[in-house]
Structure 1
Amino acid sequence: MRTFAAAALTGVLVAVLPATAALAADPKPDIAVTSAADKANYAEGETFTITVTVQNKSSVDAKRVHYTGGDSEGVDGVTYGVLSTGFDLAAGATRTVQLTGKTNHVAWQTGRGYVAFALAADNGEANDADNDTIARLPVAGAFGDLGGYVYQGESFDAEWTPQTPGIPGVKVVVSSTDGKTTYADAVTDAKGLFRLAHLPAGDVVLTFTVPAGWKILAGENGEDDHTRTQISADDSDEPRVFVPAKKVAVGSPSPSPSASASSPSTPAPSPSSSAGPGLPITGDNTMLLVGAAAVAVAVGTVLVLAVRRRRVHLQA
């Protein structure tokens, strides 16, 4: 039986080891990429330069590293340079390359353009989590208006229709995405409608403060009181933000314990009124408990000895 088990184990090792050796002999490069624009802000039609830092974090050389899946908005004439033809990158090496382009009118309208892409090597990629990047190109100068509704709904995906009751008195605050700048605020009317004018084009955050008895259902799962949106310098003044809110119970304030204890009309009962004479609240309680425990141990010991003595007499 032992001989059979040993033979089986040997067979498994013979089958597995070549496959393991083959995997170890064919590792993949691990390409990581980051990017940064050369300016913090651009004008419409301005040329930009994006510096791309490429790192090979693996122990194997990367063959012909090149960009793939490029995407962009608000830019024209993007030139990827050496990222188009590709280049080899040794194991553990880092290289910086550049790409260029120009912002266009769409970038001015929306407050920003962007260039996004991923990198790949001809001999594979060990980790796809960090081989893509996006470079954002802020373009200031344009302004736009924003409007929306806060309406009644039982879930974050409740639909709005012109007949859906709105929630009045909701305060809406518009701020930058980093929270450092507040641009404007408004309050919803009887239909739940709010309007904000002359906001800078770009991404902003709307924060909602509802009257008591309501809960905002914003965010991806309806768990937030804020949502992110984009301001665009177009001619449309139609409401574009729709946020539901649901009714919630309003908790009544509980009386203060100190107030009820100090009320002259309802004096607190004395602890000794029903339980007999009370002990002073000092360390004496501890000593009493220790003494009671010692007595209990002594009594238990005497009972055990008595039982043993009786058992000895009976056996005799």
Structure 2
Amino acid sequence: MRTLAAAALVGVLVAALPATAALAADPKPDIAVTSAADKANYAEGETFTITVTVKNKSSVDAKHVHYTGGDSEGVDGVAYGELSTGFDLAAGATKTVQITGKTNHVAWRSGYGFVAFALAADNGEANDADNITSVRLLVAGVFDDLGGYVFQGGSSGAEWTPRTPGVPGVKVVATSADGKTKYAEAITDAKGLFRLAHLPAGDVLLTFTAPAGWKILAGENGEDDHTLAQVRADDSDEPRIFVPAKKVAVSSPSVSPSPSPSPSPSPSPSASASLSASASSSAGPGLPVTGTNTMLFVGAAAVAVAVGTVLVLVARRRRVRLQA
């Protein structure tokens, strides 16, 4: 039995060798493509030029590299040039070609148009992940409003209806898609409605800050407080953004216990005198300090009164004797 099993294994290996050898003898080229527009912004009807860079990353020559299809929006008259006719590309070589076209009214309304396409070679493609490219053509100068609701929902998949309660007091900030330029901000009303005025057409980033007791459930899994939205000129004034929020517990701030006061040492007599003097001065205005010891004046006055009294008594006694 062992002899038969070994013979069978050898047979399988021998049968697989021709297929393996065929694969090794027929490797596929690996075409990578990138693209870039010639300007940062365009006007409606303006001609654009896209530079396409094609590289053969493999050790196999690519035969008849050509455009195989794609998609576009907001553009007219796209001409693919050499990408339509095709060209050979040697192993490790790089080639740049250009495609042209014009932006149209759809790009003006949306804030951008785009061109996306794929390339292939007649002798195959080793990696389909990097032979696709796209370019966005920005069309600036158009503005419109954008509105929506922040409503009460238990998950990111909650759906809004006209009867769904809203979440008031949510701050909504609209910025550029990269978050670097602020466009506008608004606060949701009692129904959870917000409206952002005069936003540029194109992609904007909306960031939501909920009041205490609420959590925004934006994003695919409800873990975000922001979402991308598209502003389109001449679009409907109806709210188009719907973001759920759920109630959460409000955590009370922790209070650190106050340290127990340590006993103060008894003040010395001199310190007590100083404290008494300080307390007296703080209680209200005192007598002006002139530098003279007032107690001496008080003693002298008392002595003078006593002497005067004695003299009066002596004088009266003498008067009585003289009269007698």
TM-score (norm 2): 0.78
1:196 aligns with 2:191: no
- Counterpart code for 2:179: G
Deviations 1:213-236 (A, max 9, x none): 111111122111000011111152
Which residue is equivalent to 1:50?
Answer: 50
Which residue is equivalent to 2:91?
Answer: 91
- Counterpart code for 1:133: T
Which residue is equivalent to 1:115?
Answer: 115
Offset, 1:65: 1.0
Offset, 1:88: 1.2
* SS of aligned partner of 2:198: strand
Which residue is equivalent to 2:299?
Answer: none
* SS of aligned partner of 2:14: helix
Offset, 1:160: 0.5
Which residue is equivalent to 1:289?
Answer: none
The whole-number CA distance in structure 2 between the counterparts of 1:125 and 1:105 is 37
Which residue is equivalent to 2:253?
Answer: 253
The whole-number CA distance in structure 1 between the counterparts of 2:253 and 2:168 is 25
* SS of aligned partner of 2:129: helix
Q: What 5-or-longer segments of structure 2 have no aligned partner?
A: 263-324
The whole-number CA distance in structure 2 between the counterparts of 1:122 and 1:144 is 47
Deviations 1:39-62 (A, max 9, x none): 111111110000000011111111
Deviations 1:58-107 (A, max 9, x none): 11111111112221111110001111111111111111000000011111
Which residue is equivalent to 2:242?
Answer: 242
Which residue is equivalent to 1:167?
Answer: 167
Deviating beyond 6 angstroms after TM superposition, the runs of 4 or more aligned structure 1 residues are: none
Which residue is equivalent to 2:273?
Answer: none
- Counterpart code for 1:184: A
Which residue is equivalent to 2:72?
Answer: 72
Which residue is equivalent to 2:292?
Answer: none
Which residue is equivalent to 2:216?
Answer: 216
Which residue is equivalent to 2:158?
Answer: 158
The whole-number CA distance in structure 2 between the counterparts of 1:240 and 1:47 is 32
Which residue is equivalent to 1:148?
Answer: 148
Which residue is equivalent to 1:311?
Answer: none
Which residue is equivalent to 1:300?
Answer: none
- Counterpart code for 1:141: G
The whole-number CA distance in structure 1 between the counterparts of 2:228 and 2:238 is 18
The whole-number CA distance in structure 1 between the counterparts of 2:81 and 2:95 is 14
The whole-number CA distance in structure 1 between the counterparts of 2:5 and 2:237 is 79
- Greater CA drift, 222-231 or 17-26: 17-26
Offset, 1:255: 2.6
Offset, 1:197: 0.9
The whole-number CA distance in structure 2 between the counterparts of 1:2 and 1:231 is 73
Q: What 5-or-longer segments of structure 1 have no aligned partner?
A: 266-316
Offset, 1:194: 0.4
* Number of residue pairs matched by the alignment: 262
**Percent of aligned pairs sharing the same letter:** 84
- Counterpart code for 1:237: D
After superposition, residues 174-193 of structure 1 pair within 5 angstroms as 174-193=174-193
* SS of aligned partner of 1:17: helix
Which residue is equivalent to 2:138?
Answer: 138
- Counterpart code for 1:98: Q
The whole-number CA distance in structure 2 between the counterparts of 1:133 and 1:37 is 12
The whole-number CA distance in structure 2 between the counterparts of 1:23 and 1:165 is 63
- Counterpart code for 1:84: S
